[in-house]
Chain A
Amino acid sequence: MRPEDLITRSPTAEAVARETQQLPTPSHEAQDALRQTLEAAARPPTPAPWPALLQEARGKMDSRYAEPATSHRGGLTGTALVLAKRAFRLTFQPFINEVLRKQVEFNESILDALATLHDVQREQARAQAAWRKELERRLAMLEATGTPTEPVKTEQQAPTPAASSKRTRKRGR
């Protein structure tokens, strides 16, 4: 850690940076294993568009508005029917909206739930793939060296955790 990467008033950034440099250097194996694990666990931020299988349903989610009015009849009758349908919708659209409001909300909720299920499944599949890859890597290393790469060998130099010393500094609240 470099001093210019820190903001701290007391102790100074220089003092903290100095302390970080005095930490015991972990073994190369431990560092390498950690680096590879972190790389395996890296996940660049990727936009998640709506799942393709839900796109069609999404297009039909808002049931308040129907397709443009048409008629299979030709001539004046057909035109009159189309005009009548348009007039009907124009007149009653506010009522239609109100009647279908709950339905639209339900449609939206159910689509959200389905999309969430899809996303969860995607994340689980991704995690499983990464996990399998990581296990295979560790297995390959074990097979190659014949010695375990983990657990970490810094255990002997690890100090007593500060949590235990913290018991003496409780403020009796």
Chain B
Amino acid sequence: MSIPRPPPRRTGLPAIHQVLPRLAWGDAVGNQVRYLQGLLRRWGHASEIYAEAWDDACKDQVRPMRDYAREADRDTVLLVHHSFESRLVPRIAKSPGRKVLVYHNVTPARLFEGFERKVAAACDAARDELLALRPHVEAAFAYSRFSAEELVAAGYPNVAVLPFAIDWAAFDTATDPALQAELDDGMSNILFVGRAVPSKKVDDVLRVFTAYQRLYQPRSRLVVAGYLHRDGAYGAYLHGLKDVLGAEQVRFLGRVSAAQLSACFATASAYLSMSRHEGFGVPLLEAMYRGVPVVAYGAAAVPETMGGAGLATRSDEPREVAKLLAVLDRNAGLRAQVITAQRERIAELSQEAVAEQVRVAFEGICSGTAPQRPVATAPAATVELVCPGFTVRPEEPASRLARRLAEHLPGARVLALRPWGEDAALTPEPISDEGVAVTHFTPDQPVDSNPRTALPGSSALETAVRASSAPVVLLSADTVSAQTLLPHVSARAWGVCEPASQPALLASAREHLGDRLVVEEPAHVETALQALLTTLATTGVFPRAT
């Protein structure tokens, strides 16, 4: 294997290597790893990329992970990039030197359910690995506060947010003239860029586009640029959905070249993202850089990535989102305002500024002068009360029950969803809400303003519960978070459910909790409280429950 000769190394500086499961050509993690390597070498560090597998185009940039233990010493720093199942934890644990996690976030497995059971299992395994890596690293970086919050919840020490470095010059590629001529025909082009996978919700992009085309702009076209696995279940679903919706002018381009992508952006009227999960959304910023107004569903780190520019919405209702596209189409002044705000956002992410922040962060790690962020100063909770709606829907029976339960269980902590629009906190300590200790976690998707819709899950909340060793009470065991947690914490969990819950969810809760599940009418909060306290007391876990 031929390795390109790195720049001369400055003596005294530790080597900073990177490891990831697979080095791919053109994906966000691979690009980031290569960019960091360039920066580290420029600053005089020896820096190599180690991986278990790689694309053929990257074979000269990478070393096999099995060689790392032999080539590293105790002063070497290893940046462990984590975004998917790697099966590298045992090898990393045995390797010499210091280790730092770089977390790109892991897509919640539930977003692949019904389409990609193997990917869903791998995402679950990746979250297990996130917890397994914790004892082996001395610090952790994330590319958004949204991701950093999960690291704090998992108990990682010294968590910091690293700015995502983007090579803006790479976007200045000449356009593909053939594709540009084809798309530049006076129609309103709505663009989405990304792999067509269930978590990106290309099906919702289709729905919004259909509403836009039928209600506001018949002369419109949807362009989806990104790999689409046509032989997969999701690909089949998308093609079927396209027929059912009856939308005209929908183009699935598949994987495109840089020139073709430039043509897509150059002819786009608006960029539309309905993705349910982004650790950091590079295509959103690419659209901003190329002067295309962005309309995006504000899930996960999307609002943070957009930084107030573009139009982020908490509604995924196709007709509502279509209105935003229509407004951009019809009001030139408003459109210009959006584009100006997007340019200002891009200016905040200049390469020089980002490189300087990265340098400061790594210098702090190497010299041990990075600000130490405590894992937790407050005593651990005696019991974790999982009530996602506690703050966002305080009048719901589950929230009232959680409050009453917290009054009876000294040292209990309520884990709840953070209200829409509030920034993620990187402190593990709970806040006091009328005497009840509450820790808020950013939901994976915005909480819908309609109280009848189901509450979204929260990866950070679920990770916090899994990282804790305290007994768990799942108030409303039919919520997304409770259902996600059941297989992992059922041995130390109790739950409450309404009899009118969906039968499948109720059955799942029964299967995992058995006698520790209390099924009670929502209006009977006091009855549910007594039943739950009795159940807890009979098990002897909470002798102090009064």
Chain A contact residues, CB within 8 Å of chain B: 1-2, 4-11, 15-16, 19-20, 23, 26, 30-31, 33-34, 37-38, 40-41, 43, 45-48, 50, 112, 115-116, 119-120, 122-124, 126-128, 130-131, 134, 150-152, 154-155, 158-167, 169-171, 173
The complex places the Cα of A30 from the Cα of B217 at a distance, in Å, of 13
CB under 8 Å from chain A, chain B span 490-534: none
When the two chains form the complex, which single residue of A6, A34, A152 contacts B218, counting CB atoms closer than 8 Å? A152
- Is there a chain A Cβ closer than 8 Å to B314's Cβ? yes
A-B contact pairs, 10 of them (CB 8 A): A1-B315, A1-B320, A9-B308, A20-B320, A20-B327, A37-B244, A48-B115, A124-B240, A163-B184, A169-B291
* CB-defined contacts of A43 to chain B, threshold 8 Å: 203, 237, 241
- The verdict on B329 contacting chain A, using a C-beta distance below 8 Å, is yes
Whether B324 pairs with A1 at a CB distance below 8 angstroms is yes
Partner of A20, one of B187, B267, B323, B421: B323
B314 touches A23 (CB 8 A): no
Of A11, A30, A112, the residue contacting B338 (CB under 8 A) is A11
Other 13 A-B pairs with CB < 8 A, given A4-B449, A10-B338, A37-B244: A8-B312, A11-B334, A34-B319, A38-B207, A40-B244, A120-B232, A130-B244, A131-B240, A131-B243, A158-B216, A158-B218, A161-B269, A163-B183
* Contact across chains for B298 and A154 when beta carbons are under 8 A apart: no
Nearest CB on B from A105, distance (A): 13
Known: A7-B298, A128-B240. A23 touches B341 (CB 8 A): no
Cβ contact within 8 Å between A119 and B115:
yes
For A166, the chain B residues whose CB sits under 8 A away are: 266-269
| Chain A CB within 8 A of B380 CB | no
User: B331 to A19, Cβ gap below 8 A?
Assistant: yes
Decide if B421 touches A154 in the complex (CB within 8 Å).
Answer: no
Chain B, Cβ-Cβ closest to A170: B266
A23 CA / B216 CA spacing, docked (Å): 9
Q: How near does chain B come to A53, taking the closest CB pair, in angstroms?
A: 15
Interface residues of B in 268-302 (CB under 8 A from A): 268-270, 291, 298
Q: Which residues of A contact B217 (CB under 8 A)?
A: 158-159, 161
Q: Name the one of A41, A127, A128, A163 contacting B187, with C-beta atoms under 8 angstroms.
A: A163
Tell me which residues across on chain B come within 8 A of A47, comparing CB atoms. Answer: 113-114
Residues of A within 8 A of B324 (CB): 1, 16, 20
Asked whether, in the complex, the Cβ of B117 is within 8 Å of the Cβ of A48, the reply is yes
Per the bound structure, the CA–CA distance linking A116 and B262 in Å amounts to 34
The 8 closest A-B pairs by CB, nearest first: A127-B240, A161-B188, A9-B308, A119-B233, A10-B341, A123-B236, A20-B323, A7-B312
The smallest beta-carbon distance between B175 and chain A, in angstroms, is 8
Contact A5:B266 (CB < 8 A) given known A23-B327, A38-B211: no
Question: Which residue, of B172, B243, B298, has the highest number of chain A Cβ atoms within 10 A?
Answer: B243
Task: Please determine whether A8 and B335 come into contact, CB atoms closer than 8 angstroms.
Answer: no
- Beta-carbon contacts under 8 Å, B205-246 to A: 207, 210-211, 213-220, 231-233, 235-237, 239-241, 243-246
Binding site for A on B (CB under 8 A): 110, 113-115, 117-118, 172, 174, 183-184, 186-189, 203, 207, 210-211, 213-220, 231-233, 235-237, 239-241, 243-246, 262, 266-270, 291, 298, 303, 306-315, 318-320, 323-324, 326-332, 334-335, 337-338, 340-341, 420-421, 449
Residues of chain B contacted by A120 (CB below 8 angstroms): 231-233, 235-236
Chain B residues positioned under 8 Å from A155 (CB to CB): 218
* A47 vs B291: C-alpha distance when bound (angstroms): 40
A15 and B187 form a contact (CB under 8 A):
no
Q: Which residues of A contact B306 (CB under 8 A)?
A: 7
Q: Which of B172, B270, B310 contacts A162 (CB 8 A)?
A: B270
Choose from B211, B218, B291 the contact partner of A151 (Cβ within 8 Å).
B218
- Majority secondary structure, A binding face: helix
Closest residue of B by beta carbon distance from A117: B231
Q: How far is the CA of A159 from the CA of B218 in the complex (A)?
A: 10
Is the Cβ of A10 less than 8 Å from the Cβ of B337? yes
Known interface pairs A48-B113, A163-B187. Does A5 touch B118 (Cβ–Cβ under 8 Å)?
Answer: no
A167–B269 Cα distance when bound, in Å, is 10
Contacts of B291 in A (CB 8 A): 169, 171
Residue in A5, A122, A164, A170 whose CB lies within 8 Å of B315: A5
User: In the complex, are the beta carbons of A23 and B269 less than 8 A apart?
Assistant: no
A40 to B188, CA, bound (A): 26
A116 touches B232 (CB 8 A): yes
A150 to B420, CA, bound (A): 38
CB distance from A16 to the nearest CB of B (A): 6
Distance (whole angstroms) from the CB of A43 to the closest CB of chain B: 7
B172 contacts across to A, CB distance below 8 A? 173
A123 to B213, CA, bound (A): 25
Instruction: Name A127's contact: one of B213, B241, B327, B335 (CB within 8 Å).
Output: B241
* List of A residues within 8 angstroms of B309 by Cβ: 8-10
- The answer to whether B246 touches A159, judged by C-beta atoms less than 8 angstroms apart, is no
A contact residues around B186 at 8 Å (CB): 160-161, 163-164
- Please name all residues of chain A whose beta carbon is closer than 8 Å to the beta carbon of B245 when the two chains form the complex: 37-38, 41
Distance of A2 Cα from B421 Cα, bound (Å): 14
A6 and B278 CA atoms in complex are apart in Å by 18
Output the least CB separation between A59 and chain B (Å): 16
Bound complex: CA A43 to CA B240 (Å): 12
Q: What residues on A are CB-neighbors of B310 within 8 Å?
A: 8
User: Closest residue to B292 on the A side, CB-wise?
Assistant: A166
Assess whether B311 is in contact with A123, with CB atoms less than 8 Å apart. Answer: no
Residue of B nearest to A122 (CB): B233
**Minimum distance in angstroms from A124 CB to a CB of chain B:** 5
Bound state CA distance, A4 and B54, in angstroms?
A: 45
Query: Which chain B residue has the least Cβ–Cβ distance from A132?
Result: B244
Q: How far is the CB of B122 from chain A (nearest CB, A)?
A: 12
Instruction: List residues of chain B with CB within 8 A of the CB of A159.
Output: 217, 329-330
